Amino acid sequence: MLVFIIKKLANALLVMLTVAFLAFLIFRLAGDPVDMMSTEQTTQADKELLREKLGLNDNFFVQYTRFVANAAQGNFGISYRNGQEVLGLIAERFPATMELVIVATILSLLIGLPLGVLTAIKRGAWYSEILQFGSIIGVSLPSFVVGILLILVFSVSLGLLPAFGRGDVVELGWWSTGFLTRTGLLALILPSISLSLYQVTLVMRLVRAEMLEVMRSDFVKFARARGIPRFRIYFRHALRNCLMPVVTLTAMNIGTLIAFALITETVFQWPGMGMLFIQAVTFVDIPVMAAYLCIVSFIFVFLNTMVDILYAVIDPRLRGAQ
Amino acid sequence: MADDKRPCLEVQNLVVEFPNRHGTLTALNDVSLSIAPGEILGVVGESGAGKSMTGLAILGLLERPGRVASGDILLEGRSIVGLSDNEMEKVRGREIGAIFQDPLTSLNPLFTVGSQLGETIRQHLPNTSKAQARTRAIELLREVGIPGPDERVDHYPHQFSGGMRQRVVIALALAARPKLIIADEPTTALDVSIQAQITGLLRRLCKENGTAVMLVTHDMGVIAETADRVAVMYAGRLIEIGPVEQVLKNPSHPYTRGLMASIPALGARVEKLNQIDGAMPRLNAIPPGCAFNPRCREAGPRCRQDLPVLAPTPAGMAACWLHNGGVA
Ligand SMILES: Nc1ncnc2c1ncn2[C@@H]1O[C@H](COP(=O)(O)OP(=O)(O)O)[C@@H](O)[C@H]1O
Ligand code: SF4
Ligand SMILES: [Mg+2]
């Protein structure tokens, strides 16, 4: 088990070093940072000084190592656009994105799991067919369309829910939360639904497919032959055997959701990392872009590794396997 | 044990159908058999003959759209056909236990054997505490011959060998002391060297507890060693039934004789029973008259027209015109 974990961590480290390398390349290829930071009045001597100060005269490998060392400590440099610490900028936006993603994930499980079980055990019933059909639409509708539709119906026509922003937030240390105020919670509703719709349908379809598969398995047949009640079989024996792929999908997709949040955040003017990234792109603010890339990748890799380890915890067969 | 002569299980003229787009497949046709308390009935026949289907029909586990179209199944005189799902859940496990072919896949890989045993015990004996169920689970594991049951009770299925897992499955089937066990090829998936141990164990436990058994197998050797009576199935019908010694020594139905001839020496085990020329017809292509007639060396004109029904023979009952007025 320990060897298994160490292997997974080494793997994760390798992936992160590669990502850092790519981010670093962006720096190098995007042109001379000294030119970008300087104005017409900057003298050649000033430029040299800056170049020396930024370490741009060192060789490639030394620069990469320094970049990795700095990034590992959360030091991504200074924004070209407004001269603020990049990490600070991202930390400021991070809670908004994460709260949106967390709520969307919870929604996708809370709705997707029961619907998946229902459509599997009541296969052929009219409501199962409708849900199945609806899920095809859910998978294929682009999330900005969903967002705009939700805004049209619930904000513009009915005037029930806010169409943009986070509402009031409460500061808990460096974390700003919208969970503690009424306006904050209301503001979360439409964006999280819009962001989670695709996830809901994915989870539902996955659970349905897995349930149908597991329900055909011999141990379910044998559990029925032992006289175990149907609902216990569905929810204890069958569903538990479906959880592995669901855990995988959910955890991996938190990364995808963070990426997707970019669109949702734009539609709902949600002040998260996605919006920050979009702004960074418009201003060619390389340090912010590189930091976003590294941080989102880190979340991806972290979740993947956790999933692998969780696997071993959920499934006793994998525990001894290594 | 039963204080009267009432059979433990009676299957009466059972017909199982699978309706589909092209019509109706009759998987079991007019099957009648009975098993006395504590008796072991062996059921043999080629693959596809309807042996498993008979067991599933008794357990009420026919896959949709399969259904009991007519006939009856009586458990100690009470009909269990058409019971609701809730009622059947009280019959399965409690009154009828089951053992299926593949011990490797019969157990849920995510729960310890103790938790699966405890679950079954507490399901059927609701007043049992968790601690009592655990004690009972250990006792059951000991009964089925698992060494170190106090430790093994907390192990997961994958930590057991195939033979040991089938012992666990037997413990699960016996957990609530059912009156009847349906064992569908319980040793087919196992290593040859441990097959005899498992059937021996099953026989001993059922004899000790007075449990009746329907033992499905295509191994005549197992039948000879284990069963009290034997039933032979062919193309969804029961074609011969009688006490083991008589039927094995003096089979009446040409198909049963073919099965016997396919065994090199009685007691030896063969994988498949298809040593008779030709193959069993598919359910949608059963010939008129006796279903066996295309393969039967003794077939006469009558065999191709009229369906033979079970009639008394020296060895028991057989569905063959040879024993019921001639084939001409
Ligand atoms: N779900 C099903 N639908 C239609 N026919 C089936 C189904 N399951 C089994 N059968 C048919 O029922 C017959 C009996 O099968 P079975 O009882 O499994 O045979 P065996 O004697 O080998 O156990 C076979 O011909 C099989 O093709
Ligand atoms: S009824 Fe005729 S065809 Fe059928 S087994 Fe007897 S002799 Fe053969
Ligand atoms: Mg079978």
Neighbours of ion ligand 3 (CB under 5 A): B 52
pLDDT at B4: 57
pLDDT at B67: 95
Q: If one looks up domain A87-318 in CATH, what number appears?
A: 1.10.3720.10
Query: Is the CB of B63 inside a 6 Å radius of any atom of ligand 1?
Result: yes
Of A251, A310, A303, A309, residue with least CA distance to A8: A309
Report the alpha-carbon distance of residue B140 to residue B135 in Å, rounded.
9
Structure-model confidence comparison of residues A308 and B63, the more confident one: B63
Cα–Cα distances in angstroms (integers) from residue B114 to residues A16, A230, B156, in the given order: 43, 20, 9
- How many other C-beta atoms can be found within 10 angstroms of the C-beta atom of residue A141? 15
pLDDT, one tens digit per residue, over B268-301 is 454 444 457 788 999 989 999 999 999 999 999 9
Q: Per DSSP, which regions of B192-234 are E strands?
A: 212-216, 229-234
Contact B264, B78 (CB under 8 A): no
Which residues from chain B sit within 8 angstroms of residue A240, using beta carbons?
110
Interface check B229 vs A, CB under 8 A: no
Q: What is the mean pLDDT of residues B15-20?
A: 95
Report the alpha-carbon distance of residue A126 to residue A315 in Å, rounded.
35
Contact A292, A277 (CB under 8 A): yes
Q: How many CA atoms lie within 13 A of A41 on its CB side?
A: 0
For chain A, give every domain's residue range: 2-72, 87-318
Banded model confidence at residue B62, pLDDT cuts 50, 70, 90: very high
SS3 B148: coil
Query: Is the CB of B283 inside a 6 Å radius of any atom of ligand 1?
Result: yes
Mutate to test the interface with A, among B88, B91, B101, B110 (most CBs of A within 10 A): B110
Contact A52, A46 (CB under 8 A): no
The number of the ligand 2 atom at minimal distance from the alpha carbon of B290 is: 4
Segment (H or E) for A43 = none
Residues flanking ligand 2, CB < 6 Å: B 253-254, 290, 292-293, 296, 298-299, 303, 308, 320-322, 327
Of A297, A246, A256, A257, residue with least CA distance to A100: A257
Contact B100 A222 (CB under 8 A): yes
Number of DSSP helices (H) and strands (E) in chain A, helices first = 14, 2
Query: Is the CB of B281 inside a 6 Å radius of any atom of ligand 1?
Result: no
Q: Is the pLDDT of residue B127 over 70?
A: yes
A39 CB burial (10 A radius; 0-12, 13-18, 19+): exposed
Report the alpha-carbon distance of residue B68 to residue B26 in Å, rounded.
10
- The mean of the pLDDT values for chain B is 92
pLDDT, one tens digit per residue, over B189-227 is 888 888 899 999 999 999 999 999 999 998 888 899 999
- Which residue type occupies B154? D
pLDDT tens across the length of chain A (322 residues): 778 888 888 989 999 998 888 888 877 777 677 777 677 777 888 888 877 777 777 788 888 888 888 888 888 888 877 788 888 999 999 999 999 999 999 999 999 999 999 999 988 889 998 998 888 887 788 888 888 999 999 988 898 898 888 988 898 888 989 899 999 999 999 999 999 998 999 999 999 999 999 999 999 999 999 999 999 999 999 998 888 888 888 888 888 888 888 899 999 999 999 999 998 888 888 888 889 888 888 888 888 888 887 777 767 776 654 4
Report the alpha-carbon distance of residue B83 to residue B92 in Å, rounded.
12
Q: Is the dihedral of CA B80, B86, B91, B92 positive or negative?
A: positive
Report the alpha-carbon distance of residue A54 to residue A77 in Å, rounded.
10
For chain B, give every domain's residue range: 96-175
pLDDT, one tens digit per residue, over A285-314 is 888 888 988 888 888 888 888 888 777 776
Report the alpha-carbon distance of residue B148 to residue A142 in Å, rounded.
59
